[in-house]
Amino acid sequence: MNRRRLPTFFLIQCCLILPNGGNAFVPCMARPSVFPVPAPESSPDINTPTTSGLPKRPSALFYNPLEFDDESEGKEGRMESVRRLQKSYYVNEPGFAPLRHGVLSSLPLWMEDYTELPGLQRVMDVRDPQLINLVLKIVAGPKPWYFGHVNKEDSDYDDDNSYDDDEILDSTIGTLMQISDYSLVKATGILEIGVQALGRFCAIEGTTLNVAGMKQVGVELLPDLELVEAHYHSAKEAIATFDLALNQNAKGAACAGAVAEAAEWHEYEFEPMKLKAKNGNADQGVSRLNAKVESSSNTVVSDAMEEYLIQSPDDAHEGECMLSFDDDEEKDGSLEVSELPPLEETTMMIQTFGLERDVWIQLDTLLHYLRLLDPKTNTNMPIPSQILALLPKDPPKPWPKTFTLTKYNQKMKNLQSLVSRNKSKLMLDKKIKLDTMEAASDYPALRRSRRLSYTVWILVEDLMSAYSDLIGTQRMILSRQDILEMTSISQRLFLARRKLEEINTVLSKVVGDEEV
């Protein structure tokens, strides 16, 4: 039977005229979107059962890889596909200008009504499309993925992210945050991000608003006074011996060295978060130390100080770090290296390590009372392993004979060693990760003290909440913002010791023990 060929123009019309007003012309090179693309109202639902009882195959035009349940098969593969789409959409994102002399020139600000403290981590749900766009632009660039967090109740910014140029230049204290991991959840468009709080900063200048309407500012990272003092002697030596030094500002060089050291240790201090991993660390409020990271480079600090010293005096950056480091003897820059006390004998460091020891003793005393009052404390250690790992091996004075935390740590290390060697016999998953119970031997003692000076406050908050029936309703005299704005490790440790003493005094009366 002979079939008559249809005219060419008829075939063309059939291709162009789609039912329900659909458009056949879809640009081939259109940018893929990470957000669900809505189908026309008249289009049938892709999951509407057909006569065969099976759902229709998703349309290539309206297909969205996020519209399936998280529990379904191939979830990890789909997430990887989504990330590839994101990379093709957010191309050539430059990332951040390198940290120079403690300054980040353009940092996006995230404003909330609370304060983040360094050493902490949490999972955030981002729902606003503009903020999602901002985060995806950040993670499309090279690591590190930074943004600044500011408590809008304690800043010069108002709720709509606008600001007064005359008020922003020298005041706002915030927290440098790092995006560690991210994941788009289901078809809701919610972006889940794991964030970690790295350190403090001071806003030093305003720049332009970005596409999300969020402020971008230049910030100076603020190391604690003890960390600056620890490098001050080396900075003076560098001035005396470095032939290319063009300025004599030992304070500025010491600040630059302290910031460089902090950046070098961030990878060790903050184990990456894995939002979807089994036995992951995303649900922990305090970041883990990353035992897989090698030791810090010994030349980072000296390199940063020399880079600072080769600036001419007119160009050298003078910021909040130096201005808050009080040293009346060096107003004219004439103090000789030989006049400086040896590093290990500086009063500030001795005071810091003494206060660190006192805080641990108060924590041990608190545990003693909790064991007497709550039998569960004997089996459930209320101090997380991330904080116990900061227990000093060599305190300035021996621990009291009644001190029990060292014994607990040793028992846990022995148990972990036994479990690690016998995972197969105990039928445990080899991927299970045991918590680190002690810091690396070359981890700087001052950075250990600094970490405790922040995280102990979160522990105090949690204990006051969990044991409010025993401790009573006490309020925190200091806010998190007050703690963040403190310029020294010693100051935070001193006030933490005093707060723990107050709690222990209350508990001692409850158990009838007058010795605290």
Model confidence at 297: pLDDT above 90? no
pLDDT digits 0-9 by tens, 274-290: 887 665 666 678 888 88
Domain ranges of the chain: 103-221, 225-340, 349-511
The more confidently predicted of residues 364 and 57 is: 364
Model confidence at 328: pLDDT above 70? no
Share of the chain above pLDDT 70, in %: 60
Q: What is the pLDDT of residue 254?
A: 92
What is the mean predicted confidence (pLDDT) over 439-464? Answer: 91
Q: What is the pLDDT of residue 326?
A: 54
Ranges 25-29, 406-410, 456-460: which has the least confidence: 25-29
- The end-to-end CA distance of the chain, in Å, is 106
Secondary structure in 3-state letters for 370-406: HHHHCHHHHCCCCCCHHHHCCCCCCCCCCCCCCCCHH
The more confidently predicted of residues 310 and 283 is: 310
The more confidently predicted of residues 61 and 204 is: 204
CA pair distance 202, 87, nearest whole angstrom: 32
Q: What is the pLDDT of residue 156?
A: 54
- Residue 320 near residue 313, CB atoms below 8 Å: no
What is the mean predicted confidence (pLDDT) over 224-237? Answer: 92
Model confidence at 68: pLDDT above 50? no
Residue 90 binned pLDDT confidence (cut-offs 50, 70, 90): low
The per-residue pLDDT of the chain, averaged, comes to 73
pLDDT digits 0-9 by tens, 162-200: 444 434 434 589 999 999 999 887 667 789 999 999 999
What architecture (CATH level 2) is domain 103-221?
A: Roll (2.30)
Residue 456 binned pLDDT confidence (cut-offs 50, 70, 90): very high
What is the mean predicted confidence (pLDDT) over 416-425? Answer: 55
Q: What is the pLDDT of residue 435?
A: 55
